[in-house]
Amino acid sequence: MPELAAIATALGEAGLLPAVLATLVRVEGSSYRRPGARLLLTADGRRIGAISGGCLEADLVERARGVLARGVAEAVTYDTTAENDLVWGVGLGCHGVVRVLLERIDAPPAWAAELRAATAARRTVRLRVRHDGPDPFRWGTRLAGATEGAPAPGEWEQPVPPPPALFILGAGEDARPVASLARTLGWHVTVADPRPAFATRERFPAAHAVVTAPAGELIARLDPGPDALVVVMTHHYVHDLPLLGALLGRPLAYVGLLGPRRRAERILAELAVTAHAAAADLGRRLRAPVGLDLGADGPEQVALAILAEMQAVLGRRDGRPLRERNGPIHD
């Protein structure tokens, strides 16, 4: 969730405080956002994040002024079911009930610093948000202890995993929009290529890391884990072959290869000569041609198709239109 990372970063800047943090802690029925959505409202009028599609923010801004003035947290429930929608005067028509906690923050909180550290170290943290109970002065966000059990009544817990880790193997022109769009999504982006002239910081300012090494050594150096998203897009058979060969037997969340199906089949057949079972396993998992069928043409559209397929995998969906989905949009 990129907005949470941005909020954690902003909360490390003492000059932005005091501020009010709004956290969506409960949803019943339909809602644009899910629990964990946040909006940071600073005293100088800055906004980071969003709780809704824009329909609740005006009311939240007014309530935030009161929280800043009184110094005590407030929890508000918005009932947007048809019979209650007009009571709020926001005309949402969402047919849902959402509960939002607004808490005043006067000093950089420990949970924000820990979240920044955990993101860099690629580990999960657990946040606890108390939004109910007899003492509103105790409401707010904190870190859950490593040995803490279930949340207490009036508390909501949010596990915050590290952002998706994307490895782009190939630093051609068409890799640049993939890196840029993935960074916009809040993913951790690594670009790697055997060609030093291509894999440069100047060409990939959106990447967190840019790596160059011989094709046969890149995967060992990068060491993508089981949660990694990998796309091979060097456009060179002599590079793609050893890169995919080094991925044999590695559990990955996603692995894709740019290029026609016949080219992928040729690479897999060559790998199968010396590693038949591993090549067959990779063939079952390999997304080739990579990306969803969006009718994409050009680097930017191809990047969208690739990342859309990755997001579908992360969300455990098949990428079909929402109108064909039976049941709620969110599980």
Higher pLDDT, 82 or 232: 232
Q: Is 165 left (phi over 0), alpha (psi -120 to 50) or beta?
A: beta
Whether the pLDDT of residue 308 is over 90: the answer is yes
Answer yes or no: is 118 within a domain. Answer: yes
Residues 113 and 245 in one domain: no
Residues 169 and 152 in one domain: no
Residues 12 and 86 in one domain: yes
Higher pLDDT, 218 or 320: 218
Residues 102 and 225 in one domain: no
Q: Is the dihedral of CA 308, 311, 313, 315 positive or negative?
A: negative
The residue segments making up the domain with residue 65 are 2-160
For residue 318, what pLDDT is reported?
87
Answer yes or no: is 203 within a domain. Answer: yes
Both tokens assigned to 183: 């960074």
Least confident among 41-55, 96-110, 115-129: 41-55
pTM for the whole structure: 0.88
For residue 1, what pLDDT is reported?
63
- The values of phi and psi at residue 278, to 5°, are -65, -40
Residues 151 and 198 in one domain: no
- The values of phi and psi at residue 107, to 5°, are -140, 155
For residue 87, what pLDDT is reported?
45
| Chain-centre distance for alpha carbon 107 | 27
Residues 173 and 300 in one domain: yes
Residues 68 and 106 in one domain: yes
Answer yes or no: is 223 within a domain. Answer: yes
Q: What total number of domains does the chain contain? A: 2
Residues 155 and 171 in one domain: no
Residues 309 and 193 in one domain: yes
Answer yes or no: is 194 within a domain. Answer: yes
The residue from 160, 191, 213 where one domain ends is 160
Answer yes or no: is 320 within a domain. Answer: no
Q: Report the chain's C-alpha Rg in angstroms.
A: 23
Answer yes or no: is 331 within a domain. Answer: no
Residues 156 and 172 in one domain: no
